[in-house]
Structure 1
């Protein structure tokens, strides 16, 4: 079994465990108001955020396991592992909420319609939402090695996190389930901290943040 396969199995197991506990978390860990006892509508901000961020997180997990196989740098490998584990767990939680609410995991509406961005231009080459890497960028990351892979990953993940922060900030404003708003606030804080860290890591490697890898 390869290291990447093992990593995926660990993340899947963690996601399943978190999803199994999502019923208690979503039902009992809200703000205590009436909104926490109601099932969100299928096209609500709560449901839309859970669906879209689950997709967004999945790519971050994939990118992180790709780079772990393509560098020996312990700092990058540790960061990639932390991001993969955190986002796999959060993804499991959000999918667990959708199961709890008995809502579809796919919407007929465009991504981010729940935050008023449904009419935004469609992403190109597989990038479904802001910050997501294109198919070409994912393929390039899969071919890179060593320092080149590290720089490419850091640049792509900074862009990915910026898109994630924007979406999480939308949930903080629009979601009504207290537990979900708290998760979104935590995402904003942690991903902004990681953006700062990754910017410094790029500087240490003689590189700067760029819109292209």
Structure 2
């Protein structure tokens, strides 16, 4: 059941940082972008998903210390390991491309959705928790912490899947596309798992209004 951390390790071994910056043509015949532009989907996705992942890691550290429930702590541990691993890969790619890990561009501008996400209270992208919600999580313990964490992470994963699929649809780099596809698969599976965990605790998805 608890396989995301193993998936992250496999992805890291299969992809490798150098593979992403190789030039030429892939085995499938599709071209591989060697050095993406600063405003490319490749750079934008790496930066934004790294930020998105970091919050998931932060939320998981919080709940890990606020409950003794083993399934919740195991889920949090897997999210910490998987998303920290993937974040490191994306930051490494930006370094190899000679691009800054940060940008003044509006988050998710690379998706060209036709509208901008309205950042508020620290929530920079879809699914991200607000500063108020994170502060609330820090005040909870036991089942209450578990339920609120699961509700926050379900929304977080929904936003992450949207972003990852958005990059898959625009990708010009086979290796980064494979990583994004693995995120869609893993986080979609975890969405069902977290929904089931909420039901076991007599709760439903959906973050209560603050």
TM-score range, shorter chain: 0.7 to 0.9
Does the 8 Å CA contact 1:111/1:128 hold for their aligned counterparts?
Answer: yes
Which stretches in structure 1 are left out of the alignment for 5+ residues? 1-13
Q: CA deviation at 1:123?
A: 1.6
TM-score (norm 1): 0.86
- The aligned counterpart of 2:85 is 89
- The aligned counterpart of 1:39 is 35
Does the 8 Å CA contact 1:70/1:149 hold for their aligned counterparts?
Answer: yes
Q: CA deviation at 1:82?
A: 0.2
Q: CA deviation at 1:105?
A: 1.3
**Structure with the higher helix share, 1 or 2:** 1
Which stretches in structure 2 are left out of the alignment for 5+ residues? 1-7
- The aligned counterpart of 1:200 is 196
TM-score (norm 2): 0.87
**2:9 is the counterpart of 1:27:** no
RMSD value, Cα: 2.2
Residues 60-209 of structure 1: pairs in structure 2 closer than 5 A: 60-117=56-113, 119-209=115-205
Q: CA deviation at 1:37?
A: 5.0
- The aligned counterpart of 1:8 is none
**2:54 is the counterpart of 1:58:** yes
Q: Deviations over 1:104-160 (max 9, x none)?
A: 112221000000147414221110000000000000011110000000000000000
Following the alignment from structure 1 to structure 2, what is the Cα–Cα distance between the partners of residues 118 and 42? 20
